[in-house]
Structure 1
Amino acid sequence: MANNRFIITISILLPLALLAATTTAKDVATKQDKTATVVVEGKVYCQSCKYFGSWSLTGAEPIPAAKVSVICKNHRKRVSYYNTFLTNEDGYFYAELKDFKMTHYLLDHPLHSCHVKLLSSPLETCNLLSNVNNGINGSPLKFENKVLYGKNYEAVVYGCGPLAFRPTNCDPETTP
């Protein structure tokens, strides 16, 4: 009779102990999970009149407060992410894609699904869209082999461009 009580007690307590151990391990794993964030960076310039009509950025000047968009489409060609970003005083933008989600690990990967487009320039003398590095059609992302690490944070950095607006008026003498 004592052996039966022991077996019954073990058969009840053992699953409870295993359940408690798995719950604790699961809680620890959840606390240690890191969030991976996708970041896109690039620069926006005003192309020199001398190189108007080409993709050359020789003599180009950075544009502060230029606006670009990052658009991602899922493997069903539906927009899954869209946001706009402004450049800083050096024409540089750092676009953290908050809430970007991949429903398919390969087809929805940022390298395949996202691109950057020029939207607007605050400069009246340089606000025409150019397709330098596909700024009009959508510049594809490039993996820059950069990952930023922090406590419970990881950001994978992609680059695009550089992108450029073109001047509104170029003298015929300065264009090729």
Structure 2
Amino acid sequence: MKMAWSMVLLVAAATMMSIAECWEEVPTNGVTTGVIRVGGKVLCQDCTEGWNEWVDGQKPIEGCVVSVICMDERKRVSYYGSDKTDKAGEYELTINKYIHGKEIKPEACFTRLVSSPDPICNIPTDFAGGKTGVKLGRPTLVYRDMIKHVLSPFYYTTPMCDEPDTNDDEQQNNY
């Protein structure tokens, strides 16, 4: 009987040790993992259409280039990447959280439009910050070692819709 209890206790102890090992962090020799994903859409908005077509008539643009630039604490570029949109006008960039041993901080990254292959709809707008760039703020999804930012759609428009800059800048008039 004592032998049976000893075996049961031995098996229970071995089981508990193997369960405890599952929760231990696996050493990575100083290499930390994780990714930041940035995604969204690029659409064409044509102002020459009627109101209903203008509001609901945006179409995706395939082949647009969208970039992500991340800065370090000294305001130097620590990451630059770009992606082209697919047929649905969607892009998604994956950034390693650690590059050369330094952590990329999402709040120091911004995303912007770079170019459009569409011969008619190729003027970037600042609607949703596409022209000047939008900083990554609160993530849309956080799961284990992944942080995902889904941004509002960026828009291009036609040259006819582009408003000229009519600001009278004093610095331009100084000779």
* Structure 1 and Structure 2 fold alike (TM over 0.5): yes
Which amino acid is the alignment partner of residue 110 of structure 2? H
Residue from 106, 116, 121 that aligns with 2:116: 121
Fraction of identical pairs, as percent: 31
The structure-2 alpha-carbon separation of the partners of 1:113 and 1:89, relative to structure 1 and needing over 3 Å to count, comes to same
CA distance in 2, matches of 1:74, 1:81: 9
- 8 Å CA contact 1:125–1:169 kept in 2: the answer is no
CA distance in 2, matches of 1:27, 1:69: 35
Q: Which digits, 9 at most, give the CA deviation of each residue in 1:4-30, with x for residues without a partner? A: xxxxxxxxxxxxxxxxxxxxxx99433
CA distance in 1, matches of 2:39, 2:45: 19
Which amino acid is the alignment partner of residue 76 of structure 1? R
For 1:162, the equivalent position in structure 2 comes to: 153
Q: Secondary structure at the match of 1:116?
A: strand
Task: Compute the TM-score of the two structures, normalised by the length of structure 2.
Answer: 0.64
CA distance in 1, matches of 2:32, 2:89: 31
For 2:70, the equivalent position in structure 1 comes to: 72
The structure-2 alpha-carbon separation of the partners of 1:169 and 1:89, relative to structure 1 and needing over 3 Å to count, comes to same
- 8 Å CA contact 1:72–1:82 kept in 2: the answer is yes
For 2:105, the equivalent position in structure 1 comes to: 109
Q: Which digits, 9 at most, give the CA deviation of each residue in 1:46-65, with x for residues without a partner? A: 112158xxxx8642111111
Q: CA deviation at 1:78?
A: 0.8
RMSD: 3.1
Total equivalences in the alignment? 133
For 2:83, the equivalent position in structure 1 comes to: 85
Q: CA deviation at 1:101?
A: 3.8
- 8 Å CA contact 1:48–1:166 kept in 2: the answer is yes
Q: CA deviation at 1:155?
A: 2.0
Which amino acid is the alignment partner of residue 166 of structure 1? T
Q: Secondary structure at the match of 1:97?
A: strand
For structure 2, which runs of at least 5 residues remain unmatched after alignment? 1-23, 162-175
CA distance in 2, matches of 1:124, 1:100: 38
Which amino acid is the alignment partner of residue 137 of structure 1? T
Q: Secondary structure at the match of 1:29?
A: coil
The structure-2 alpha-carbon separation of the partners of 1:34 and 1:66, relative to structure 1 and needing over 3 Å to count, comes to same
For 1:60, the equivalent position in structure 2 comes to: 58
The structure-2 alpha-carbon separation of the partners of 1:98 and 1:29, relative to structure 1 and needing over 3 Å to count, comes to closer
CA distance in 1, matches of 2:40, 2:77: 22
Q: CA deviation at 1:72?
A: 0.8
